[in-house]
Amino acid sequence: MNNYNNLTDNELLDLLKADQQQALSALYFRYWDKLLVVAGNRLDNPEVAEECVQDVFFSLWQRRNDLKLKYSLATYLAVAVKYQVIKQLDKQYRLQDRKDKSLHVSEEPYTSSADEHLLEKELMERIEAAVNRLPEKCRIVFKLSREQGMTNKQIASDLDISEKTVEAHLSKAIKDLRSDLTTISPLLLLWFFGNNS
């Protein structure tokens, strides 16, 4: 496993496509904590948050042969876990709504559908197209922040600009993207953009 831990995400994805379960384990341990924090911050129930993260990795394994990432794996996993959280919140809302109406609720085990995979793919494509329409500097700063997970300080150092300039580019990028993606659910946009806006 130690050898797997030294591999890049792309190398691990190649091994994943070759049905190497250890590659999935390496990605699981690499991203589990970060994804659990994202899910845990949005959900009141730690067990449900863990279930969301488990579903993301289960889906990653199931779709390993068809997976084509246009963004980094980190971005893909972050969007995927946020999508799972949204589904959980929607499910909780519907259950509560039914209880409020005194209806009998029967819970059925969740299975992902082809429609949801298409929706997720369409969402990623629309976000990518919107990001590509950003002005060059905004696009570079946004990608360094969201795709590579760099801090404002790291980006400023890397691009030899001030942190205030980085913040200005990020603010403009988020504003432009929100405007460009107005037909996407506001809740989904909130998950994608996070709390840095």
Q: List, for residues 44-70, the tens digit of each pLDDT value.
A: 788 888 998 999 999 889 988 888 877
* Cα torsion 139, 86, 24, 194: sign: positive
In this prediction, residue 103 carries a pLDDT of 47
> Is residue 150 one of the residues assigned to a domain?
yes
Residue 71 has pLDDT above 80, yes or no: no
Inter-residue contact 4 to 23 (CB < 8 Å): yes
Q: Over the stretch 106-164, which tens digit does the pLDDT of each residue have? A: 444 444 555 566 666 677 777 778 888 888 888 888 888 877 677 889 888 888 899 99
Residues 96, 138, single domain; the answer is: no
- Where is the domain boundary, 74, 102, 130? 102
In this prediction, residue 101 carries a pLDDT of 60
Which CATH number goes with the domain that contains 72? Answer: 1.10.1740.10
Based on the structure, what is the number of domains in the chain? Answer: 2
Inter-residue contact 152 to 145 (CB < 8 Å): yes
Residues 98, 4, single domain; the answer is: yes
Residues 90, 163, single domain; the answer is: no
> Is residue 54 one of the residues assigned to a domain?
yes
Residues 128, 194, single domain; the answer is: yes
* Domain, as residue range, for 98: 1-102
Residues 68, 97, single domain; the answer is: yes
